[in-house]
Structures are given as C-alpha cells and as structure tokens.
Structure 1
Amino acid sequence: MTLVLALLLDAAFGEPDWLWSRVTHPAVAIGRGIGWADRRFNHGSFRKAKGVILTLCLLLGGLLAGLVIAQFGWVVEAVVAAILLAQRSLADHVSDVARALRLSVAAGRVSVSRIVGRDTAQMDEPAIVRGAIESGAENLSDAVLAPVFWFLILGLPGLLAYKAINTADSMIGYLTPRHRDFGWAAARLDDLLNWAPARLSALLIPLSLGRLPDWPAIARDARLHRSPNAGWPEAAMAQALDVALSGPRAYDGEMRDFAWVHGSGDRFPTFEAVDRCAAMLWRSWGLLLALACVKALLT
C-alpha cells in the first residue's frame, strides 16, 4: 500500500514549485553534499580511494536515513518515496518539448536543452525529437522504475540509497580528467544498481501496449549503446514508437557518430512522436501501478 500511495502522490502532484521554492528538495540536498565533497576532496593523491569512501558514505547514509524515516509510519514513508519518484515531472518535461516544437524549432531547442546534455544550438526538429524520447526512455528506467525496484527490495532505505548513488553518478560519474578517478566508484555502483531496472523497463514498455517484446531486437540494439544500461529502455521505446534513436549528435562542439538504435525506424520524426512518447511513459506507469496494487493485495 505504501508504494501504491507513493506512485499516486507523485503522479498527482509531481514537484510543485510552491513547495520546492521554499524548502530544499532532498535530491538537491544530496547534490549539495556531493558538490562539497567534490570541491573538498577531489584533488591531490588517492582520488579513486577518496571517491570510493564518498560512495560508501552515500550508500550507508541513504540506508540509515531510510531506516530512521521509516520509523514515522507508512504514510510518511509514502510521502518521502513520492518525493523521490519522478514520473509526473518526467512526463511533463517530455510533453513540454512537444508543445515547444509546435511553436518553433528554436523553442524546441530551448525546451530540450533542459533535459539533455548534448549540444542543442544547431538541432533540427528530428534531433530534438530524438533527444526528448531518449531522455524520456532513460529516465523512465532510472528515475521511476529503478527507485520502485529498490523500494520493493529494501524499502525506503533502498530507495534513498539508490537515489544518493544515482545523483552522485549524474554529478561526478564522468570519464573526464577531473572525475575519471574520483567518480569511478559512483559510476560503477550506479551501473550495478541500474542493471536489473534497465532490463525490466525494456519489458515494461512493450507490455504496457499489450504485446510481447521483441527481445532479440531489443538486446541487439541495446548493445549498440555506449551505456551498459540506457540502451535497453531506449531500444524498447524506439521499437514501440518505430522511431530511430541515438545516431549522430554533438557534445562540446564535437560531432560524434553514434550508432542508430532501431535504425529501421523513422529517422525524421516530428513532435507527434514526442507526444506518443509521453503517452507511453504514462502507459508504463499505469502497468507499474497495477503491479504494485497486485503486490499490495497479495501481501
């Protein structure tokens, strides 16, 4: 029942500005702590060892915080879990890109720049659409399904520990000279924690349409992706929408020729594909909610 309530609260309220403009969001607080540690310890010798210690502190801190909060009862637990889920905000951000593209490509570039890390200044409409869909698919896995997965495994402690590691990966888990060593442990642990959720998301997406996944095709396309996990939900979403994802894009002014995911799909999608992606996110959420309800009834 706790998880069902958390899913419903997140879907209903998302991340209201009136609240988080006055109170620090837990994920923001975690991020500030990671940022402080990055500035304080990411220099000199033994950077990898320091990063390992930080990662262990985040993992244990998340578990301990979850254990403490859980003592206040299942309603408080559900509210905190809802705050750490991101279904409503994810679907809204993806839909915002479609609405912006209806106005102009320039507006679409501004909107998609809020949810992707690649260069957006020269994007045409198909590139904007691909970026929005890829972000939607990847975040369905690591911002919705993975938190739910770890809540089911370890309760609120598992969800908080996952969120701390995932936030660390998003901040320091890069193969840059500054973070290659210091962020190594966070990146590797995040890969491990997302391994099962990423593959489950590749099942959830087609099952939400009432059809079995073409698993060999999804697995083939997922392995083309540079990430060990992100390729799975992206491959499943590409197949469900019949849109080719990934492909060439620019980072820091440098064009990179990434392989196409579901290359036989439409390589020139329009904003309508983004709308269909947002609808797919809600379909997948609906199936996830139904499964949570079944579990609640059986336990």
Structure 2
Amino acid sequence: MLLPFPGAAESLLVLLMALLLDACIGDIRWLNRLFPRPVELLARLAEWFDRRLNRIERTDSTRRARGTLTVMLLAAGAVAAGLLLAFATRQTPGGWMVEMVLAARCLDVRRPWAGMRQVGAALERGGVEAGRLAVAPSPTGRPGAWISTASSGRRWRAGRAAC
C-alpha cells in the first residue's frame, strides 16, 4: 500500500455519493459566498501568477518558462491539498461526509447542464440572438457574441439528439 489510508473501493463510494449529492442539490449559492469553489480559487491564483510573472516586456522564452513553472506549481499544490484533505478526513470519525461534500464542490456537474438547458430553451424561443444572450457571460468571461450561428444551432441539435 502506497498511501496510509484505505484504497480505491472507499474512494469510489465517496465519489459516487458526491456525484449523487451534486445531482440532487447542485450549486449551493450561500456556500459559494462562504467557501468559493476550488476552480474559482485556482482561477484567482492563476490570475495572481499571471499578473506577477507574465509581463509583456519579458521575452517569449522567459514567459513560457514562467508559465510552465506556474502550471507545475498549481498542479502540485492541487495534488498536495487533495492528499492532505483525504488523509485528514480519513483520520476523523465521519470524515467521509466532509470528503463527500468537498468532492461535490470540486465536481460541480449540475451547473453546466442547467446552463445548457437554459441556452437550448433560449435558442428555441428566440433563435441565435437569444442563445447568445443566454450564454453571456461565458465561463471564460467572454460575451456570447463569439458563437457563430451555424455552430450554435448544430451543437444544440446534436446535444438534443443525444438525450
């Protein structure tokens, strides 16, 4: 055994329960104010690194090396935080519940599906312009105007056929 806590079966059960929790409850808005989602924390940290290390006056090779270092630091930090939290929750009674809630916060599966339904409904009601408005702002912060008419209709029909 490589790690000091039980292995895959227990982790898989916690993951399945986290998926069920996210499917049933989804995004808890008041929890977002108290404890931001991990992806938001990573985005803030990446922005901080970008402001500090990615200055325009630096050469491309320097910026590339600093970007690589940033990605490695963020990945190592995420792995370290995950292992620390998993170890801590496995050592306390009922810690699996904390681990399940944390895993559900990391998964955040329900939000994109709900957003896709809203965009699909807007496309059916008002066409491409309504769909663009429903998309804006996108997860990248760009407005929905970057979506082309052909691609948005094609994606909506393909997604609808798959359901």
Q: TM-score, normalised on structure 2?
A: 0.71
Deviation of the 1:59 alpha carbon: 1.4
- State the secondary structure of the residue aligned to 2:20: helix
The equivalent of 1:13 in structure 2 is 25
The equivalent of 1:78 in structure 2 is 100
Deviation of the 1:102 alpha carbon: 3.0
The equivalent of 1:4 in structure 2 is 16
The equivalent of 2:43 in structure 1 is 31
For structure 2, the 5+ residue unaligned runs are 1-12, 90-94
The equivalent of 2:153 in structure 1 is 129
How many residues in Structure 1 have an aligned counterpart in Structure 2? 138
Give the whole-Å Cα distance in 2 for the aligned partners of 1:121 and 1:33: 26
Q: CA RMSD in A?
A: 2.6
Give the whole-Å Cα distance in 2 for the aligned partners of 1:68 and 1:100: 43
Q: TM-score, normalised on structure 1?
A: 0.41
Letter in 2 for 1:23: F
Give the whole-Å Cα distance in 2 for the aligned partners of 1:123 and 1:60: 38
Deviation of the 1:97 alpha carbon: 1.0
Deviation of the 1:128 alpha carbon: 2.3
Distance 1:28-1:121 versus aligned 2 partners, 3 A rule: closer
Asked whether the 8 Å contact 1:96–1:111 carries over to 2, the reply is yes
Which is greater in Rg? 2
- State the secondary structure of the residue aligned to 2:117: helix
Counting aligned pairs with the same residue, the percent is: 32
Distance 1:33-1:57 versus aligned 2 partners, 3 A rule: same
1:52-91 to 2 correspondences below 5 Å: 52-70=68-86, 71-72=88-89, 73-91=95-113
**1:132-156, Cα deviation, whole Å (9 max, x unpaired):** x5xxxxxxxxxxxxxxxxxxxxxxx
Letter in 2 for 1:60: A
**1:187-211, Cα deviation, whole Å (9 max, x unpaired):** xxxxxxxxxxxxxxxxxxxxxxxxx
The equivalent of 2:126 in structure 1 is 104
Letter in 1 for 2:16: V
**1:19-43, Cα deviation, whole Å (9 max, x unpaired):** 2144322211111111010010112
The equivalent of 2:9 in structure 1 is none
- State the secondary structure of the residue aligned to 2:145: coil
Deviation of the 1:78 alpha carbon: 1.6
For structure 1, the 5+ residue unaligned runs are 134-268, 280-299
